[in-house]
C-alpha cells in the first residue's frame, strides 16, 4: 500500500488505466496529464458556456484572464481499477505562473471511461495566462488501496462515462 512509483505507474497505465498512455509523461511518483480541447468558460451574461480551444497552440495560445474561471478536461481518459485511487495536482510551474486548481481532484477507485474535469482559475491580478490543448496541465498521484471498496465508483459514480468536460451534475 502507498504511492505508486514510476515502474508501477507504467504497468498500471500501460495496462489500460490511462488512454492514450505516453510513457514519457511518467515521473518518479506521478503521471503528467495534458489539457484537452473542450472547455466551459464563464461569462457574466451566460454563466458557463461550452467552448473549444482546438486550434490553439503554444505559439498561438488561448488566454485565461485575471480572475477568470473555466472548466477544462484532460486529453487522457481514465479507467481506474478498484484497488487504486488517485489525486490530481496542478504542476508547480503552472501554480507559480498563477494558475489555481480548485482542489476537486480526487479520483475514486472505479472512476472509469471518463476524462477528468479540471476547475481552473487565473489567480493573477493583471496578466493573462496562456493555455493550449496538449500542454502538461497537472499530474496524477496513484495510491494502492489496502482492499477494494464494497461499492466501487463504477456502481456509484455520477461522472463515469464523461467523454468531455462536465459541468456540475447536481449538489448532493
pLDDT digits (tens, 9 = 90+) for 61-82: 999 999 999 999 999 999 999 9
Q: Regarding the domain delimited by 2-156, which CATH topology (the fold level of the hierarchy) does it fall under?
A: Deoxyuridine 5'-Triphosphate Nucleotidohydrolase; Chain A (2.70.40)
- Cα 27 from chain centroid (whole Å): 16
- 164, 38 in Cβ contact below 8 A? yes
CA atoms within 13 A on the CB side of 76: 27
Active site residue 144: no
For a pLDDT cut of 70, what percent of the chain falls above it? 98
Q: Which of 42, 68, 119, 144 does the annotation list as catalytic?
A: 119
How far apart are the C-alpha atoms of 153 and 8, rounded to whole Å? 22
Where exactly are the structural domains of the chain?
Answer: 2-156
Q: What's the N-to-C CA distance of the chain in angstroms? A: 31
Average pLDDT of the chain to the nearest whole number: 92
- Sorted by sequence, the CB contacts under 8 Å of residue 116 that are 6+ apart come out as 33, 73, 74, 76, 78, 88, 105, 107
Instruction: Please list the residues that pair with 42 across neighbouring strands.
Output: 48
Residue 172 has pLDDT above 70, yes or no: no
Return d(Cα 95, Cα 93) in angstroms, integer. Answer: 5
Mean pLDDT across the stretch 91-114?
Answer: 90
CA–CA separation, 113 and 80 (whole Å): 9
**Beta pairing class for 2-3 and 136-144:** antiparallel
Contact 132, 35 (CB under 8 A): yes
Give the whole-angstrom CA distance, residue 38 versus residue 133: 9
> Which H or E run includes 87?
strand 84-90
Closest residue by Cα to residue 142 from 24, 22, 14, 31? 31
What is the average per-residue pLDDT within 40-63?
A: 92
Amino acid at each position: 500500500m502507498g504511492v505508486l512509483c514510476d515502474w508501477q505507474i507504467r504497468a498500471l497505465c500501460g495496462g489500460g488505466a490511462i488512454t492514450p498512455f505516453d510513457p514519457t509523461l511518467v515521473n518518479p511518483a506521478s503521471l503528467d496529464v495534458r489539457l484537452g480541447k473542450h472547455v466551459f468558460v464563464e461569462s457574466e451574461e451566460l454563466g458557463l458556456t461550452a467552448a473549444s480551444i482546438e486550434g490553439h497552440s503554444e505559439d498561438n495560445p488561448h488566454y485565461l484572464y485575471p480572475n477568470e474561471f473555466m472548466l477544462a478536461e484532460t486529453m487522457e481518459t481514465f479507467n481506474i481499477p478498484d484497488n487504486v485511487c488517485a489525486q490530481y495536482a496542478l504542476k508547480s510551474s503552472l501554480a507559480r505562473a498563477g494558475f489555481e486548481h480548485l482542489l476537486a481532484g480526487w479520483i475514486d477507485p472505479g472512476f472509469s471511461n471518463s476524462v477528468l474535469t479540471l476547475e481552473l482559475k487565473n489567480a493573477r491580478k493583471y496578466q493573462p495566462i496562456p493555455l493550449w490543448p496538449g500542454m502538461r496541465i497537472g499530474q496524477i498521484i496513484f495510491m494502492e488501496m489496502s482492499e477494494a471498496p464494497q461499492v466501487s465508483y463504477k456502481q456509484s459514480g455520477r461522472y463515469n462515462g464523461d467523454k468531455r468536460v462536465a459541468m456540475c451534475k447536481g449538489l448532493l
